[in-house]
Amino acid sequence: MSFIIEGLRKAFALIFSLDKEVFHIVLFSLRVSSTAIVFASLLGIPLGFLLGVKDFWGKKLIVVLVNNALAMPTVVVGLIVYSCISRVGPLGYFGLLYTPLAVIIGQFVLATPIIIALTHSAIQGIDAKIRNTALTLGATEMQAAWAVIVEARYAVMSAIIAGFGRVIAEVGAAMMLGGNIKDSTRTMTTAISLETSKGEFGFGIALGMILLLISLSINIFLSYFQSKKV
Amino acid sequence: MNQQILLKVKNLKKIYNNQIVLDIDSLSFNKSEIYAIVGPNGSGKTTLINILNLLEKPDEGQIFFEGKDIIRTSHLYFLKIRRQMTLVHQKPFLFQSTVYNNIVYGLKIRGILYHDQEARVNKALKMVGLPGFERRESHQLSGGEAQRVVIARALAIEPEILFLDEPTANIDQRYIDVIERIIKKINYEMKTTVIFTTHDLSQAYRLAGEIVSLVDGKVVQHVPENIFRGKITQEDGLQWFVITEEVRFAVVTKKKDLTYIYIDPTDIILSNEQFSSSARNSFIGKIIKISEQNHLIRLVVDIGVHLTSTITRESFQEMKLNIGRKVCLTFKASAIKCY
């Protein structure tokens, strides 16, 4: 028991003394996950929108694949991306493995299906009426599409936050692709995993508490946006 | 009134699932007038209004706006014309935002200056009798208020043509009068051409200068009262048009099976008692509606189906008719037109 209490004491000390290493890792994690989410949103929202409004051949298959990707284990994503960017992989030339960019790519692959699927379901329910209303008021096709996204804004925000929640808390892909290199690719989750196995409970608990706090904030945001959905 | 033709369609055809739902040779709408498009359910009213508003493309035919064919035109010109008209849907839809943001939408996408936006929103709200509603959230509005905000949103654009699809179909009885007054006011004050669909003929008479009557996707020359869909059968050497199990008319026709029939209201003789004559159709029913139309009195009589008969004001007064009164309707088999 004492090691837990000792660990907690150390964790608080690290947090309140604004320990450089702890906060470096936290900021790195936030930066990597945010970057991944920005790109995942740029791809996922338009794709989710298209799935919601357009009928095309193979649409059902895509929806099934996207929904399947939601539940894909993070280590599998890590494995797939690893095999693409490792030295012998098709993208090996770029030397991306064990760089922050590799972690971003892994998290991007994880988050994109979530954003696509949630945007798709948000758009699906409201599309026709808004699009028609916008068109009758003189909107171009693009303006009408934008009106649909604006109307679904809370649901789309929920999709982005849910994607962020998934990637900030995942460990498999970050570990396999980033390699948990100190001061380079070490994220909160990979650090917790390493420090715990080293017996550095204080460090692990400190990061764990910060991660929990971030998750909590994400969930508060999420429920706020979901309550806005009329 | 200016008789300039604003909108005209020629040889218009719309096909859904291999079925012609709209087939109009020629139809034109003059500037600054009010038109009612009437017809039974499924006659193509909404499809026509969607095509006229350029929301749907016809499969064949031409649409002219101020004499210019707009189907075969550049994308930009098409958008320019589309922005001179707007449609208020049957079920009003408001964006999840304030009344102001809803109304200003059409102005924003047209790039109207910020300063003018506010003035136009206020003017539109005043027009529909809802000044001061700018900050209200759309979900706080009642059905009648929402309908008026939707009309205000259309008015703010200051369209040349305002289309309304069944403007009073989904609102409380007490608001119908309000909406009708607004429609008249828009036409009178802003000189906007108004084209609306309705299944309520009396509303069409109250509001419109001209009535376009659609049956089975075609424009017919008479208003769609006394139009029925039914089956032609043969019995005892006579031809019958069967509408319901209880109601059937003797007809003279070469048509078979399912068809539409029309009886001119002036061909139906109304009497207090049944009398013997050569006319093969005679029914007793109750008067359910009385209205005035161009010095004639229109009476709707329930004989199992609703039949309209028009009589002169003098006859009406002499016969001392009122709602609920039992009367007899008589018409010849040859008065029934089948098509």
pLDDT at A229: 53
Contact flag B53-A140 (C-beta cutoff 8 Å): no
Same domain for B269 and B158, yes or no, is no
B93 contacts on A by Cβ (under 8 Å): 129-130, 132-133
A-chain residues near B83 (CB < 8 A) = 138
> What residue of B is the nearest CA neighbor of A154?
B96
Domain's final residue, options B203, B220, B237: B220
Taking a C-beta distance cutoff of 8 angstroms, is the pair B267, B302 a contact? no
Which CATH number does A2-228 carry? Answer: 1.10.3720.10
Predicted pLDDT of residue B28: 94
Number of domains forming the structure of chain B: 2
- Which of A126, A130, A133, A140 should be substituted to probe chain B, the one whose Cβ sees the most B Cβ atoms within 10 Å? A133
Task: Decide which of B220, B255, B270 is a domain's last residue.
Answer: B220
Distance of CA B180 to the CA centre of its chain: 13
Query: Are residues A129 and B79, on separate chains, in Cβ contact within 8 Å?
Result: no
Contact present, A173 and A106 (Cβ < 8 Å):
yes
Dist. CA A100–CA A103, nearest whole Å? 5
| DSSP letters for B110-172 | TT--HHHHHHHHHHHHHHTT-TT-TTSBGGGS-HHHHHHHHHHHHHHT--SEEEEESTTTTS-
pLDDT of chain B along its 339 residues, tens only? 447 899 999 999 999 999 999 999 999 999 999 999 998 778 899 999 999 999 899 999 999 999 999 888 888 999 999 999 999 998 889 998 999 999 999 999 999 999 899 999 999 999 999 999 999 999 999 888 999 999 999 999 999 999 999 998 877 778 888 889 999 999 999 999 999 998 777 788 788 888 899 988 999 876 668 888 888 898 878 889 998 888 999 999 887 877 778 888 889 999 998 888 888 999 999 999 888 776 789 899 999 998 999 999 999 999 999 999 999 999 999 999 886
- How far apart (Å, rounded) are the C-alpha atoms in residues B257 and A108? 64
**Residues in Cβ contact with B150 at an 8 Å cutoff, skipping those fewer than 6 apart:** B88, B89, B92, B93, B94
Per-residue model confidence (pLDDT) at position B92: 83
Q: Looking at the structure, tell me whether residues B213 and B233 fall in a common domain.
A: no
* Boundary-marking domain end, from B188, B220, B252: B220
Alpha carbon distance A147, B207 (integer Å): 34
- Whichever domain contains B203, its CATH number is 3.40.50.300
Count of CB atoms situated within 10 Å of the CB of B292:
12
Query: Both B262 and B210 in a single domain?
Result: no
CA distance B315 to chain A (A): 48
User: Any chain B CB within 8 A of the CB of A139?
Assistant: yes
pLDDT tens-place values along chain A, 230 residues long: 788 888 888 888 888 888 899 999 999 999 999 999 999 999 999 999 999 888 889 999 999 999 999 888 999 999 999 999 998 989 988 999 999 999 999 999 999 999 999 999 888 877 688 888 999 999 998 899 889 988 888 889 989 999 999 999 999 999 999 999 998 999 999 999 999 999 888 889 999 999 999 989 988 988 887 777 54
With b for 16 or more beta-carbon neighbours within 10 A and e for fewer, the B64-87 pattern comes to bbeeeebbeeeeeeeeebbbbbbb
B91 and B21, same domain (yes or no): yes
- The reply to whether B263 and B207 lie within a common domain is no
Q: Are B183 and B196 in contact (CB under 8 A)?
A: yes
Distance from CA of B155 to the nearest CA of A (A): 10
**What is the model's pLDDT at position B1?**
45
| AA identity, residue A205 | I
Read off the amino acid at residue A206: A
Domain range for B314 = 227-338
- Both B200 and B236 in one domain: the answer is no
B216 and B238 in a common domain? no
Q: Are residues B318 and B278 in the same domain?
A: yes
Say whether the ipTM exceeds 0.90.
no
DSSP secondary structure code for residue B251 in this structure: -
- pLDDT at A127 (0 to 100): 67
Half-sphere exposure of residue B59, counting CA atoms within 13 Å on the CB side?
13
